[in-house]
A and B are shown apart, each in its own frame.
Chain A
Amino acid sequence: MIPELGHFALIIAFAVAIVQSIVPLIGAARNDAAMISMARVASVTQLLFVGLAYAALTHAFIVHDFSVLYVSQHSNLVQPLMYRISGVWGSHEGSLLLWALILSIWTVAVAAYSRNLPDILMARVLAVMGMISVGFLAFMLFTSNPFERLFPAPLDGNELNPLLQDPGLAFHPPMLYMGYVGFSVAFAFAVAALLGGKLDATWARWSRPWTTIAWSFLTFGIALGSWWAYNELGWGGWWFWDPVENASFMPWLVGTALIHSLASTEKRGVFKSWTVLLAILAFSLSLLGTFIVRSGVLVSVHAFATDPSRGVFILAFLVVVVGGSLALYAWRSGAVISYGRFQWFSRETALLLNNIIFLTAAGAVFVGTMYPLVVDAFGIGKISVGRPYFDTMFSLVSIPLLLLLGLGPLVRWKGDSWQRVLKSVWALFVISLVVGLLLPFLIEGELRIATGLGLAGALWVTLTTLKDMFARLAKSRRLPLAYAGMVIAHLGVAMFVAGVTITMSYSLEKDLRMVPGSEYDIAGYSFHFMGTRKAQGVNYDANEAVIEIWRDSKKVGELHPQKRVYSGKSNPMTEASIDKTFFRDLYAALGEELDDGAWSMRVYYKPLIRWIWLGSILMTLGGVLAVSDRRYRQSVKQKISDRLSPAGA
């Protein structure tokens, strides 16, 4: 009964979404207050019903209602409660429901926190978000109903893919979706501004905090996914350039360009149509991300759903949303007048360069991800673009990016003298370069240019960022939160770059055949294989190896990698065991049992790998801090009158 109620709630939500996407628009056109106020009412009603549907599906998972097809496919009796709850978004249908739920939450949040917005604009923004919701709810109802019944109901269900039973992955999709869907707010604001024909700088101010917080979620979500892959896939890697990963990375790159471009538009009124285009692009790539992951156009280790009818639907949806908004852009952006002026050496130029670099990177990822598809479409053959391509592209892009990241915040808006900036940073530049290039020599007694440049870049960003911060602190004792957020995010980038550089240059790995009692030395650590024992979890049995780690005749840790067999599955899963410290990880993955008690095993030494995720967390934190800035909580109307744009613009 409850699943039917959930299904019914979904249908009502669909109807409400249609109302939400049409009525307020008519209201805005006719200036009809009653119709305009429908936007808020509809968005709250929609959240209520999507929430009900979501609760109904969660309930079916919790009480093991295997008569629901989706539940029987993704959970069984022994699955722990946490993974029954996260099982809701473990596959296609449920993750769409999560998408829709998060979209409703964002919509209501926009309605609630933007009370100071002009009503007509608000109506348009909520209507655009309603249209996106119509698309997703229709997708669910017509092609992927999560409440479909199974008759007769099985006594037990299939299990959720054991790979997905990890806290890192349990929270990865919700975070990622918070980011993806969050970009819909910037998109909705951009489209609403285009619809109104009034594309001034104010829309940038309104959508900026929403975009920044969406970006923070996305950053955190991607970091969680990378952390999961490292912990769970047992390959010791943290990023695989897998199409599914790229699908989340492209919106991140464009989103990063967008938050920087929004800064120029908000502060100086420049790059207006460009920023609108970026907002459309960021959300389009979020939709494309969903498309790539869900339609199976690209082959991937993640291999979720493959169903052409769904793919066709998503493609049609993409055409309407992206094509529609780009057509609107083509039609309306002719009226945009930019009134900001700036010299070639200025913060505006730096931010423009930032945008160019991020879009180049996004373009490179896009080509690398889509090129195989294009080649295929022409029937030339099937190829896959590998790691070397992406690694090379990103090494090339990161050098100018880091150089710019150090310089940009030091350059003033409108125009600056390059002699002044150069004078203030040349010493830092030389120090970074010399120390960075010397470090590999000190670590290993070997000169490595690429490693040295990576470290120099990280050092350069750290030094210039700190220098600027101290210079500001000297002037006033308090730093605005928005500025503090930027500093932390940029330091996060430096930390990330240092982590990537060191991990990629100095990681060691070894495939071993070990008998109990044998030992192996790697990077000054000695791995002693003590033997294996049986271990048991709630829903799996495992062989567990005990490996003691010794350094300088002192035991520093113990690893327990496992080979698990989950109930209901017969192929064993590898559960790596990792000894984590701030400066290095020691990682062991258990292979197969060989003859006479020996086991195949893989061990890794990964220096500074934690910095990759800590750096990402700093970036996330920076975004959150920036949004907490007071100016976003001030009356927006006040601000509009402060910075009224010229008549007619």
Chain B
Amino acid sequence: METEKPSTLRRFMPLIIFGVLVVFLGIGLTLNPREVPSPLIGKPAPAFDLPLLEKDGRFSEQDFKGKVTLLNVWASWCFACRQEHEVVKYLGSRGVRIVGLNYKDDPADAKAWLARLGNPYEVVAVDRDGRIAIDWGVYGAPESFLIDRDGIIRHKVIGPLTDPEKVEALLVAARENGMNELVTVLTDVRQKIR
């Protein structure tokens, strides 16, 4: 008769491995699962060419050049966009150039939405089937991209701009890239949403 007596280490091994995993799970849990940094940071804006919502004409990535732009991805069906809209309007009123990317939306709904809530956008590009948004790595609305005057993406905000932490991160990115006017405006925004 063969006897098999597991050694102490062998008996405790499963428990030890489990303990290590729990630590990781615990740390993972305290992090925000939704914020995957964009690989596009520091890269030129992906090429696209979209029709505009309220006027004739088109918008392409070349049109970012010359002025710091905040590209705001929104849709009329998106509840958080409505919350965020007050902040976006404030930014617009302070002279920040904001371009809208209307995401998977019905143009009629989008127009009605802007008519009701106000339109801070210089132009709104229409991404009806969300195909351009895929190139931009958008996985929901709202999201906002900070693009510098050379058309390079400098920061991505996932979720509404009503969140102080997100505004803070955007502020840091604006400061690092020497966008002084934007820094001033965002500092005021930070005051307001607190």
Contact = CB atoms under 8 A, between A and B. Distances in A.
Interface of A: 273, 277, 280-281, 284, 291, 295-299, 306, 308, 311-312, 315, 318-319, 322-323, 326-327, 329-331, 333-334, 336-341, 370, 373-374, 376-377, 381-382, 384, 569-571, 591-592, 600, 646
B24 A570 contact: no
Contacts of A315: 22, 25-26, 29
Given A299-B34, A338-B2, A329 B14 contact: yes
A273 B19 CA distance: 20
A570 B106 contact: yes
> Which residue among A291, A311, A326, A591 has the maximum number of chain B CB atoms within 10 Å of its CB?
A326
Contacts of A370: 21, 24
Contacts of B18: 284, 322-323, 326
A296 B36 CA distance: 13
B28 A376 contact: yes
A341 B4 CA distance: 11
B93 interface: no
A591 B129 CA distance: 8
Given A297-B29, A370-B21, 7 more contacts: A297-B25, A308-B30, A319-B22, A323-B19, A330-B14, A341-B1, A571-B105
A284 B15 CA distance: 12
A333 B30 CA distance: 35
Nearest to A340: B2
A329 B76 contact: no
A291 B22 CA distance: 12
Contacts of B106: 570
B105 A570 contact: yes
A311 B29 contact: yes
A386 B76 CA distance: 32
Interface string B147-173: 000000000000000000000000000
Interface stretch (B5-13, B52-60, B63-71): B5-13
> Which residue among A295, A319, A330 has the maximum number of chain B CB atoms within 10 Å of its CB?
A330
Nearest to B7: A334
Contact of A318 (B12, B22, B31, B109): B22
B190 interface: no
B36 A377 contact: no
25 contacts: A277-B14, A291-B25, A297-B25, A298-B33, A299-B36, A315-B26, A319-B22, A322-B18, A323-B15, A326-B14, A329-B11, A329-B14, A334-B8, A338-B2, A373-B24, A373-B25, A373-B28, A377-B24, A382-B35, A570-B105, A571-B105, A591-B129, A592-B129, A600-B129, A646-B1
> Which residue among B14, B105, B106, B128 has the maximum number of chain A CB atoms within 10 Å of its CB?
B14
B76 A570 contact: yes
Contacts of A326: 14-15, 18
B22 A334 contact: no
A428 B103 CA distance: 58
B191 to A, nearest CB: 28
A571 B37 contact: no
Nearest to B5: A334
Nearest to A646: B1
A246 B126 CA distance: 36
Interface of B: 1-6, 8, 11-12, 14-15, 18-19, 21-22, 24-31, 33-37, 75-77, 104-106, 109, 128-129
Contacts of A571: 75, 77, 104-105
B27 A377 contact: yes
Contact of A329 (B1, B15, B28, B104): B15
Contacts of B21: 370
B84 to A, nearest CB: 18
A570 B77 contact: yes
Nearest to B36: A382
Nearest to A591: B129
Question: B-side binding surface: helix, strand, loop or mixed?
Answer: loop
B34 A569 contact: no
B123 to A, nearest CB: 21
A296 B33 contact: yes
B128 A382 contact: no
B27 A330 contact: no
B29 A338 contact: no
Nearest to A339: B1
Nearest to A280: B14
Nearest to B130: A571
Nearest to B34: A299
Contacts of B129: 591-592, 600
Contacts of A319: 22
Given A297-B28, A382-B37, A330 B4 contact: no
A175 B102 CA distance: 40
A592 B3 contact: no
Contacts of A291: 25
Contacts of A311: 29
Contacts of B6: 273, 333-334, 336
A296 B25 CA distance: 11
A299 B140 CA distance: 12
Which 3 pairs of residues, A with B, have the shortest CB-CB distance?
A338-B4, A377-B27, A326-B15
Contacts of B5: 334, 336-337
Contacts of A331: 11
A304 to B, nearest CB: 12
A646 B15 CA distance: 29
A37 B5 CA distance: 35
B4 A336 contact: yes
A334 B3 CA distance: 11
> Which residue among B21, B29, B35 has the maximum number of chain A CB atoms within 10 Å of its CB?
B29
Contacts of A329: 11, 14-15
Contact of A306 (B1, B27, B33): B33
A337 B14 contact: no
B30 A323 contact: no
Contacts of B15: 323, 326-327, 329-330
Contacts of B14: 277, 280-281, 326, 329-330
Given A318-B22, A323-B19, A592-B128, A377 B11 contact: no
A330 B77 contact: no
Nearest to A319: B22
Nearest to B8: A334
A381 B14 CA distance: 28
B104 A299 contact: no
A298 B35 CA distance: 11
A330 B129 CA distance: 56
A297 B4 contact: no
B82 to A, nearest CB: 13
Contact of A312 (B4, B11, B29, B33): B29
B22 A374 contact: no
A195 to B, nearest CB: 16
B29 A308 contact: yes
Contacts of A374: 24, 28
